[in-house]
């Protein structure tokens, strides 16, 4: 049934509802009862501008809780915590009058060079999808819509407004679409945001296969598609393809183009009506789901939640000799070195930059939480172009306090100018001044803990990698300083596990030879081999593997059992015993990877197919159960998702490279049958259940042709040749095309 407002709207008004009224607001039509809606950034905090908005929408916004960025929260591996964070964001959005919060970003980390990786969750689609869906569920439970972004294949900032991502369908289906698919089918986001880039030559904003065939017809999406801000090139083509709302407003240009297209017969008015109904229907459902009065926001509670999220996302990369945690009550002097300890890098730059309600620093938090003497020197400048003599003086002062300290806490990281929305990084290194400082401090005091703050991985070169203890805090939000202090002093354990591999060198990364493209095109030549899939397939050493992270306790994995109720159905249950064997409570992320032992296509050696985060008290044992569904065994083929019969190996462990247990299972699912056509090879005909007997009979009637089937050497030579070509090579008057057509008619 048509939306009741449609009959009261003019063509011009309907067209106007498909384009923003301003930078952050949609249009309203008072006489038809259509209310305007407010959409705003962002995934890590509600970034609401009260005014009309500057021309880029980047000016100061209302204060809001700055939660850890996705680079951090991806490392939490904790959907329950992400759901709780989403609920807090939803409450703050409601209090500020926001209808749709733009996020989460679930684009994969194709390369660690992507300048926006701080806003993306992981290099693995399952992890990104599970955490993204939990975030959406939390936000939308508060009556605020989410806008999962950026659909699709938005994996670089270089030329992001125009670049064409050249990618095959299998790579899209297995790598770049599954996170979106999970969020859409599990959490039902109010909106999906299309990306700027082109996909195989067509802009995402006007891509009917993406926006209609896949998103709506296959996945059942029932919300509306909104453009990224400024992503629409042709508003008529966009609406025809399945885009519903163009943002921001264009001053009436896009509505006028839509009206002209309808009047010229180039666009059916019914298509316009459908888009209007989607936009109005979503906004009305959101408003109907807001029970009672707007809840008061407890910013203190949200700050504490931000601290807990940061703690759960902090990854301990090394801890030689148990240097951490530090004793807060006794011991010698602690030297804190690094400007980032007092001027924290806690959020990304660009559209997700918000004004925090408060801001903790690690230096202040450490002094509040320990009775030990705490000295401080900045060690380096965050100025984009510091003078060498300034840095040299700062280095000298830092070495001086390092000499007299029992332990040094060396805070290093990427300054804001090194990574941001809008441009990509060119290297994976820390600033040179920080690396020189690290060498001098480590030489002076080997009891040094390096604390990193960055939105994407950095290489662990030189002294950084040699430090006995190394803590990755990412961009940890407004409470990151206190969270870091709590982890360093053992009040909390570092709960994070890497959501992206740390490579030994940039040239080892999977997209290195296809980054960032040229002449307006970037080719995804690495195909499905992204992240750990690439490093495992090439057997390449890495600095730290995907899923890695240490804690302050230890765990044992035992008694793995993999059960299949019905071998004809691709489902399995994984069960194991997990025991905390250490001296304190802690959490472990149990990771399940699946290997297809013998596949008809090339596949990554192992792929993450299930995970769970488990907290155990000292000495506690728990049985962990995880389920594997059909997709855990499948790959994408020209005929859709395919599971082949045979042996699969299930690996369980604490990272992609620390796989402690494994078990095999046999699936007796029906063997998939490929469709034969005019170009099918002899081998493909012979493997076909009905085509095989047909072609054997046909070849048996051709003198000498039976050797193609019966002689091993001949079969190896001619098997990969199309049957049509082989028949043409046998001589005679038979038309090979007609012969193959006749044979195809006999195949069911």
Catalytic residue numbers read 228
CA 482 and chain centroid, separation: 27
Distance CA 486, CA 494 (A): 9
Q: Is the Cβ–Cβ distance between 477 and 358 less than 8 Å?
A: no
Strands 100-102 and 374-377: unpaired
Contact 727, 739 (CB under 8 A): yes
Neighbours of 678 (CB within 10 A): 12
Residues 6+ apart with CB under 8 A from 354: 41, 42, 44, 45, 46, 47, 61, 64, 66, 347
Q: Residue 415's closest CA among 350, 339, 358, 505? A: 339
Q: What is the DSSP letter of 602?
A: -
Angstrom CA distances, 483 to 152, 312, 337, 480, stand at: 34, 9, 18, 5
Alpha carbons 16 and 270: distance in angstroms, whole number: 15
> How far apart, in whole angstroms, are the C-alpha atoms of residue 275 and residue 282?
11
At 483 the three-state DSSP class reads helix
Tally Cβ neighbours within 10 Å of residue 477: 32
* Closest among 442, 411, 409 to 326, alpha carbons compared: 409
Rounded to whole angstroms, how far apart are CA atoms 398 and 392?
10
Torsion of CA 9, 15, 16, 18, to 10 degrees: 120
Angle among Cα 436, 441, 442 to the nearest 5 degrees reads 100
* Cβ–Cβ under 8 Å, residues 241 and 232: no
Task: Report whether 562 contacts 550 (CB < 8 A).
Answer: no
**Residue pair 74/85 in contact by the 8 Å Cβ criterion:** no
For the chain, what percentages of helix, strand and coil (3-state, to nearest 5) are there?
35, 20, 45
Q: Do the bridges between strand 555-563 and strand 521-523 make them parallel or antiparallel, or are there none, so unpaired?
A: unpaired
Q: What are phi and psi of 457, to 5 degrees?
A: -65, 150
Token pair recorded at residue 678:
């005019």
Helix axes 125-140, 79-95, angle to 10 degrees: 40
CA 413 from centroid of its chain's CA atoms: 22
Q: What CA dihedral angle connects 160, 165, 169 and 175, to 10 degrees? A: -50
């Amino acid at each position: 049934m048509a939306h009741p407002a449609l009959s009261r709207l003019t063509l011009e008004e309907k067209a106007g509802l498909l384009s923003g009224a301003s930078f952050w607001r949609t249009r309203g039509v008072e006489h038809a009862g259509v209310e305007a809606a407010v959409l705003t950034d962002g995934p890590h905090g509600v970034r609401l501008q009260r005014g009309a908005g500057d021309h880029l929408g980047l000016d100061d916004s209302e204060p809001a809780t700055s939660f850890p960025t996705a680079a951090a929260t991806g490392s939490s591996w904790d959907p329950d915590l992400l759901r709780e964070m989403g609920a807090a964001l939803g409450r703050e959005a409601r209090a500020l009058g926001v209808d749709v919060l733009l996020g989460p970003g679930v684009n994969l980390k194709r390369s660690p060079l992507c300048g926006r990786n701080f806003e993306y969750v992981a290099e693995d689609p399952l992890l990104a999808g599970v955490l993204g869906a939990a975030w959406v569920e939390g936000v939308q439970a508060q009556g605020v819509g989410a806008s999962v972004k950026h659909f699709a294949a938005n994996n670089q900032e270089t030329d992001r407004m125009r670049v064409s991502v050249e990618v095959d369908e299998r790579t899209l289906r297995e790598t770049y679409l599954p996170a979106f698919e999970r969020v859409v089918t599990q959490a039902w986001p109010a909106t999906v945001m299309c990306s700027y880039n082109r996909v195989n030559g067509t802009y995402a904003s006007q891509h009917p296969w993406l926006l209609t065939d896949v998103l709506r017809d296959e996945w059942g999406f029932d919300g509306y598609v909104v453009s990224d801000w400024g992503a629409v090139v042709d508003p008529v083509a966009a609406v025809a393809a399945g885009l519903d709302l163009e943002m921001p407003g264009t001053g009436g240009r896009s509505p006028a183009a839509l009206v002209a297209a309808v009047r010229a017969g180039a666009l059916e008015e019914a298509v316009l009506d459908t888009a209007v109904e989607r936009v109005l229907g979503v906004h009305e459902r959101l408003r109907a789901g807001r029970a009672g009065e707007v809840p008061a926001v407890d910013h203190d509670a949200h700050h504490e939640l931000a601290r807990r999220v940061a703690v759960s996302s902090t990854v301990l990369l090394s801890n030689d000799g148990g240097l951490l945690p530090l004793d807060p009550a006794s011991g010698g002097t602690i030297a804190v070195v690094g400007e980032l300890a007092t001027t924290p890098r806690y959020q990304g730059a660009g559209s997700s930059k918000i004004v925090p309600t408060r801001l903790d620093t690690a230096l202040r938090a450490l002094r509040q939480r320990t009775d030990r003497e705490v000295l401080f020197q900045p060690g380096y400048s965050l100025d984009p172009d510091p003078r060498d003599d300034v840095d040299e003086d700062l280095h000298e002062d830092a070495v001086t306090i390092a000499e007299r300290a029992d332990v040094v806490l060396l805070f290093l990281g990427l300054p804001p100018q090194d990574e941001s929305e809008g441009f990509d990084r060119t290297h994976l290194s820390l600033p040179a001044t920080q690396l020189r400082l690290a060498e001098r401090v480590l030489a002076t005091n080997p009891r040094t803990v390096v604390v990193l703050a960055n939105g994407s991985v950095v290489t662990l070169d030189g002294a950084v990698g040699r430090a006995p203890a190394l803590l990755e805090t990412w961009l940890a939000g407004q409470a990151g300083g206190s969270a870091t202090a709590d982890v360093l002093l053992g009040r909390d354990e570092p709960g994070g596990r890497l959501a992206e591999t740390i490579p030994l060198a940039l040239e080892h990364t999977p997209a290195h030879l296809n980054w960032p493209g040229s002449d307006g095109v970037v080719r995804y030549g690495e195909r499905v081999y992204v992240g750990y899939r690439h490093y495992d397939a090439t057997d390449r050493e890495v600095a730290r593997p995907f899923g890695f992270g240490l804690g302050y306790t230890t765990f044992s994995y035992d008694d793995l059992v993999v059960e299949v109720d019905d071998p004809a159905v691709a489902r399995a249950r994984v069960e194991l015993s997990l025991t905390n064997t250490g001296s304190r409570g802690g959490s472990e992320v149990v990771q399940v990877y699946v290997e297809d032992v013998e596949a008809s296509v090339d596949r990554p050696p192992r792929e993450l197919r299930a995970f769970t985060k488990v907290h155990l008290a000292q000495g506690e044992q728990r049985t962990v159960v995880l389920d594997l569904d059909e997709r855990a065994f499948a790959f994408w083929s020209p005929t859709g998702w395919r599971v082949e019969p045979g042996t699969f190996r299930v690996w369980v462990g604490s990272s992609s490279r620390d796989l402690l247990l494994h078990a095999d299972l046999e699936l007796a699912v029906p063997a998939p049958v490929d469709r034969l056509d005019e170009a099918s090879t002899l081998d493909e005909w012979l493997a076909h259940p009905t085509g095989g007997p047909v072609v054997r009979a046909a070849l048996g009637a051709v003198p000498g042709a039976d050797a193609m089937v019966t002689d091993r050497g001949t079969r190896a030579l001619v098997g990969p040749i199309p049957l049509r070509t082989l028949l043409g090579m046998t001589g005679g008057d038979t038309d090979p095309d007609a012969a193959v057509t006749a044979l195809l008619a006999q195949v069911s």
